[in-house]
Amino acid sequence: MNRSKLLGLFLLSLALAGAQSLTPSHHLSLSDVGRLQHLLSRPFTDLQSAYYSVVGLTKLGAAVPDQKEVCQFLKSQLNPTSIDSLFFAAETSKAISGCEIPVSNETRDILLAAVSEDSSMAQIYRAVGALSSLGLPLASQEVVVALTARINKEENVMGIILALQTASYLSQQAELGRILEEIEDLTARLDDLGGIYLQFEEGLEATALFVTAAYALSDHVDIEPPLKEDQVIQLVNSIFSKKSWDSLAEAFSVASAAAALSNNRFHIPVIVSALGPATVSHNQPTLQLLVTDVMSQALTSAKVLVESAYAVASKSNVLSQTPFTLNDGVFELNFMASKPASGYYQFTVAVTGDSRLVANHVELKVKVSTEVAVTNMDLSVVDKDQSIGTKTTRVAYPSKAKSSFTADSHQNFAMSFQLLDVKTEQELTPHQTFVRLHNQKTGQEVVFVAEPDSKNLYKFELDTAERKSEFDSMSGTYSLYLIVGDATLENPILWNVADVVLKFVDEEAPAAVQPKTLYIPKPEIQHLFREPEKKPPTVVSNTFTALILSPFLLLLILWFKLGANISNFSFSPSTILFHLGHAAMLGLLYIYWTHLNMFQTLKYLAIIGGVTFLAGNRMLAQKAVKRIAAEQSSRLAKYRSLR
């Protein structure tokens, strides 16, 4: 039992999700259709333009002007040996009444010869079109063979679209199944843009011609095209999103698509829109809807009904399964008859009556607006310790209180009122209920919000002492205004209720208040650069330098006194090299201090140090040998003397 309930709920949610399908966001409004017609009505100078203009206008359902002149033009411009020329002339002549293009046997032969595998798809299409429009006999099976062969050779989108168009001219007994499959293949090649648009990367013309061809062929063989509802709507969005057309060919393709989508056997997209703003009020109690096809032609045979309507704020259901009445091409519903409270309502509208209708469930947001009345406006000055009884003055809208109210720092100024819907006498809570105090002398204004209590009675209290900072402690006469506004109110209120004299305790700024000076130049910042550290005077530094060098003198004197000498200096090469190397190292250290960096110094030091080390090693070894020899000889002498 539980399982089946869950399953039912799941299926219902799926169905509801499906019901939230796409609705068209673009279509051809009446002005768009007018512009398209205007573009197609331009004077033409060659047969191709004539074809686009005349056939395009016919598709839009407009009358072709000067049909006799058009016919003359066709006959004069016709080139009986050119397939294209024959096609344009033939198709155009079919669109206007009473125009016959003369045909000869050569013409027929030329056209029949074009129907072969070797001609391009465009040539086959135009030949078949010409043959069909001129009423000449046609071998459908041969055409099918030629088309199938060309489809395999020409994979491009335009070619296949032309094949579809050609097939719609052929006899219904021919085997068109293979060609019919191409509709599905082409649908797969459409690009989905954001789930809203579906179009070929070749552009608008290709998409529009595809729609025309697909529906033409589907109608011809009476098999529903494999296009899902959402895909149809996405195609509608793509084709009708462009409102100004670059070329006659593009305009013609859009006109053809519009005609195909408003009059075929399978899918008719429905456009539902409100006439004017979707607002109802007591003055205008009817909600008016326009239900049209993509070319803004009214679908008068449809039945429109509200499936459900619920208030957005309270989610309560107001209407269910209520039909609209058709009145002069517009569908009307008297919504105010069900006495809705003011606010926003979400309508789900269904258009029925024809099984071909697509996107026939539409969500619409309707606003119910009303008029507000301010009642029971009571003003009073209350003492803070509430020892003195309050004296309330009632003021009626729109008059002003006769006397002004005075409040100093020991008193509060209080205001209470009610906001009612004029017609239903119900309390309202609009979005904006402000109390504005405007100082007449200084131009200062302070705005407060009046809040409703649980019984929807609005109260406002001004504590003079507490709020003095907002008034900048400026005493004086303030005009009190009540401001009431809301999106659903038709009569916003700005009411000068009374004058209030406020007395603040300490008057800090007797002068007129300056507007906040935000945009004047600010005081300049003086940047303090980092001061160099205080150095001692040069005399001191020099003295100490001399002082520090003095122990060196002392050292030299001491060494002299001790008798240190260099009498043992042996002039062997290693000694000289060692001393030179050592001196070079000391010199390098000085140069390092003045010029070099560590890496260079290490490099040079390695070289000089290596040389010095080897030389020094040699020198010290020699010295050691000498020392050991001296020690040995002295030991020998001692040993000898002891003996």
Partner 1 sequence: MSNSVLSVISRFLEEYSGTTPTKLKVVDAYLLYILLTGALQFLYCLLVGTFPFNSFLSGFISCVGSFILAVCLRIQINPQNKGDFLSISPERAFADFLFASTVLHLVVMNFIG
The site for partner 1 (CB under 8 A) is made up of 533-536, 540-541, 544, 547-548, 551-552, 554-555, 558-559, 562-564, 582, 585, 589-590, 592-593, 598, 601, 605, 609, 616-617, 620-621, 623-624, 627
- In this structure, which amino acid lies at residue 101? I
Residue (481 or 578) nearer to partner 1, CB? 578
Residue (17 or 586) nearer to partner 1, CB? 586
Residue closest to 184 by CA, chosen among 226, 147, 155, 231: 226
- In this structure, which amino acid lies at residue 618? R
Tokens of 596: 């070099």
Residue (534 or 643) nearer to partner 1, CB? 534
Residue (178 or 603) nearer to partner 1, CB? 603
**Minimum distance of partner 1 from residue 528's CB (angstroms):** 20
Residue closest to 340 by CA, chosen among 387, 282, 380: 282
Residue (7 or 558) nearer to partner 1, CB? 558
**Secondary structure of 274-325 in the HEC alphabet?**
ECCCCEECCCCCEEEEEEECCCCCECCCCEEEEEEEEECCCCCEEEEEEECE
**Minimum distance of partner 1 from residue 561's CB (angstroms):** 9
Q: Is 495 helix (H, G, I), strand (E, B) or coil?
A: strand
Residue closest to 450 by CA, chosen among 409, 491, 405, 483: 483
**Minimum distance of partner 1 from residue 615's CB (angstroms):** 11
Residue closest to 577 by CA, chosen among 628, 619, 518: 619
Helix 229-240 / helix 248-262 crossing angle, nearest 10 deg? 150
**Minimum distance of partner 1 from residue 507's CB (angstroms):** 57
**Minimum distance of partner 1 from residue 505's CB (angstroms):** 58
Residue (225 or 581) nearer to partner 1, CB? 581
Task: Please state, in angstroms and rounded to a whole number, the distance separating the CA atoms of residues 309 and 93.
Answer: 52
Q: What region does 640 belong to: left with phi over 0, alpha with psi -120 to 50, or beta? A: alpha
Residue (551 or 573) nearer to partner 1, CB? 551
Task: Please state, in angstroms and rounded to a whole number, the distance separating the CA atoms of residues 176 and 214.
Answer: 13
What is the chain's length? 643
Max Cα-Cα span within the chain? 163
**Minimum distance of partner 1 from residue 530's CB (angstroms):** 14
- In this structure, which amino acid lies at residue 456? N
Residue (158 or 620) nearer to partner 1, CB? 620
- In this structure, which amino acid lies at residue 253? S
Q: CA separation (Å) from 251 to 25, 27, 92, 166? A: 20, 14, 16, 21
Distance between the two ends of the chain, CA-based, in angstroms?
Answer: 133
Contacts of 427 (CB under 8 A, 6+ apart): 418, 419, 420, 421, 456
**Minimum distance of partner 1 from residue 617's CB (angstroms):** 7
Residue reference for tokens 């309502």: 345
Query: What φ, ψ does residue 323 adopt, rounded to 5°?
Result: -85, 155
Residue (14 or 540) nearer to partner 1, CB? 540
**Minimum distance of partner 1 from residue 468's CB (angstroms):** 57
Q: Is 64 helix (H, G, I), strand (E, B) or coil?
A: coil
Task: Count the alpha carbons within 13 Å of 589 in the hemisphere toward its beta carbon.
Answer: 6
Tokens of 474: 């400026």
